[in-house]
Amino acid sequence: GVIGDSLTPTLLTRFAQAFGTYVGSGTVVVGRDTRTSGEMVRQAVVAGLLSSGCRVVDAGVCPVPTVQLAVRHRRALGGIAITASHNPAEWNALKFIGPDGLFLGAGPARELLDIYHQGEYVKVAGTEIRSVEQMTDALDLHFKAILDAVGPLPAGARRLRVALDACTGAGVFIAPRLLEALGVDVVPINVTPNGLFPRPAEPIPENLGALCEIVRAHDCDIGFAQDMDADRLAVVSERGVPIGEDFTLVLAAWYVLGKQPGPVVANLSTTAALDEVARRFKCQVLRTKIGEANVTERMQSERAVIGGEGNGGVIYPAINFARDSQVGMALILHLLASTGKTVSALMADLPRFVMIKEKLTCPSNQIPDVLRMVKREFAALPMDTRDGVKVMLPNGWFHVRGSNTEPIVRVVAEGPSEAEARAVVKDVFARVAAIVNG
């Protein structure tokens, strides 16, 4: 919610009390990004957890995947990451993490909400309130886990030059250090961790103009862009051209499958280029509903070697069941070093797909009508209805679904050209708008 409006200290404390009640008054790891509202939110969360008898381990300012790793390392009963991720500066939010280091799935999330709405929280006496432990090694733990699993780039390989746009977010505290340890030269921008937004935080092409200029000006081999909590990663080619965050997972999977073939898990809106890369290594791509919790749950059950989402989220279970931009950087740099190819050359070796995304404000009670319309009007085509409606076209696909976090309907289409993808989106969007606008 918006700080000073819908997201208040009282609301934050109550949710923290509900989470403390849910986990059973055990150890909870708390971390936050660099947003200027972060300290206020942290204090409200800590107050709620302490009042419900929890022992709070404060990991400080760090990426969300660092918090998830710390939960597992400390054998905590849960964690709370304070971040609104790619949302604008006036927003903040809580991400709830279970004892396995994963975000709460649908069942546990409903249970937590039930506790919150009932308002019957565990309350301990003053003599039972515990102290807050400062966890000073959370970032070191994360840094070491990545280097141990991936290792530095091969000795003797041409030294790469990398531009990094950390968006003044939590990645500032680990990404430059990791890149240097991997063995590349770093050209950083937006690495002052002041929580001010030098650009919109979502690492989509229209927000990466400064990074593209830096790549070209400094003759970099690649550019990386993070969001505020450093779980999403976007890539800019050596020509200073964004490749689209949908292809971040594709490049990372290319490297991993070349070393360890196995199942790949991605959500329904992830590019079909991932399927092509998997086919080259005789591997299977398994699709899930949108949401990191859905992807990680399927990754565990299928023993996937890599997975993620088409929003720039790379999940590498050898390190952590979490979207992690730092891990994405390491894997993609290893792909560049091992193949000796440029980003543009790698992209040219993939089938051409263009993805177009649109959204339309829609009250939640109208979303079922929208989905029924799509199923009715495209009934002759193959479709997947696990999360909204995804319709398979002769040369692509489109996906219509209600957002989990906003009162909107998303329309996503992918095709072999921008013109074809836009034509599909225009057609479907018009049909959806007719329902929404009556």
Cα–Cα distance, 187 to 199 (Å, whole number): 18
Q: Which is nearest to 66 in space by CA: 396, 276, 74?
A: 74
Considering the candidates 25, 85, 269, 325, report the single residue annotated as catalytic: 85
Please give the distance of CA 422 from its chain centroid, rounded to a whole number: 25
Amino acid at 201: A
Q: Which is nearest to 28 in space by CA: 54, 53, 51, 52?
A: 54
The secondary element (H helix, E strand) that includes residue 265 is strand 264-267
Residue 94: what are its φ and ψ, rounded to 5°?
-120, 135
Residue 394: what are its φ and ψ, rounded to 5°?
-55, -35
Cα–Cα distance, 326 to 233 (Å, whole number): 8
Looking at the DSSP bridge assignments, the partners of residue 391 are 383, 398
Cα–Cα distance, 228 to 62 (Å, whole number): 10
For helices 273-280 and 248-259, the axis angle rounded to 10 degrees is 10
What is the chain's length?
A: 438
Catalytic residue status for 85: yes
End-to-end CA, the chain: 29
The secondary element (H helix, E strand) that includes residue 117 is helix 106-118
Q: What is the DSSP string of 248-264?
A: HHHHHHHHHHHHS---E
Nearby residues of 376 by Cβ (< 8 Å), 6 or more positions away: none
Q: What is the DSSP string of 373-436?
A: HHHHHTTTS-EE-SSSEEEEETTEEEEEEE-SSSSEEEEEEEESSHHHHHHHHHHHHHHHHHHH
Residues marked active site are found at: 85
